Structure 1
């Protein structure tokens, strides 16, 4: 019996180790490539570790002068654009998404559940199917190559997701807490701000992290709606490390590592809220 239990533990930890390896391996390879020379990356047979590790690619990106026309200074501008767009999209979606989610979770009105399903259906539409009409609309509005266009389109994609997820969090909160506040004379808005939102703090943080990451990583719409450094975001800027006849893998991977840092740091900082939010939202949806 003890041998069987020991064997079970060995198999379990082995499978967990394999899963962790395949999860971390792509990110580890990105970092290894970023500190490798082009010769090491393109060598046959493949070298798993660089013969002369160096951080020159990071130095090129981070030490470039501000306001220049080179791809390195534009990379930093694109990182700033991505942060501004993602932060505004997250804030707008959390504010309006909370109001919408509260309405769908607590108020009774015709076709409530059908509208919620319609929100979920919008997430199933592939982005490439609406790229052309989206481009035409923003062109007619003279909003091409602006951060406003990205904020609007990212909000359009993210807001239904936020409403759907936050509705599950709000429904997991006992209605008795809200009823007690209403009996004491608090209005609906008062109950939302004084009872529902404070209790839903983990859910707000968890949803906000996912909304931020969704906007930060979006590539397709950013590619067709922007053309200059004044609005270009980080995923688009990374592709510019591609040359016409060659690909500088080291620079591209260095840009990828730098692009990974803000989301990773954000997840680590709000890890406790993220875990609490995910477990809370799974109780009742």
Structure 2
């Protein structure tokens, strides 16, 4: 009963336990009679009575919880948060409610996402629901409310041939770039907030350079990738798409030109 979270089976199991203890009490009473220890029957009876009260109380509390759609335990709530937080596209969990009804569990949550496209947001919602159901037993329904992320910056990444600050030249090939520039633009005034360069550790690989580079950038939580080379239909593109990272192609030669383009477009 506990394995499938069935209140009726749990109650039936406790009823069976009561019958077992009652039979044991009778056996102890007979044993005490033959051993000339008449009080053994009374002691066993008291023990069985206490157990009956305990089992009845637990069954009553469980039944009341079912009738009132009681919230699930803290451990299950924490587990759900942990699962959802690891899904790319989920930026923040604003609220989480979950209740149990019988052996089934119902989840409702509000999450923030950076996705602006309605279809992609719907796909993310389905992905979150499927992930919860696959990892948490007996979840019958998960209602996911999507909200736009309340963010102050947008993080971009650009493959570069050098680490020369804003004057760095953009690499013609994504996977073969020596560096990746990560920079943040403030949404309020569209000004540059932060910039740093990371070395491409996969440049010497014979194959899958772009794929590995894309996976690396996803871990840096970028919102958009800007390249001179089109990566459409390539492995890197699918990695970024699955992680809800937008791709923009540019004809700019330097980071400075890219940043100026972004200011004009915004």
Name the TM tier (shorter chain): under 0.3
The alignment's TM-score, normalised by the length of structure 2, stands at 0.23
Q: Which has the higher strand share?
A: 2
Q: Which has the higher helix share?
A: 1
The alignment's TM-score, normalised by the length of structure 1, stands at 0.22
Point out the structure with max Rg over C-alpha.
2
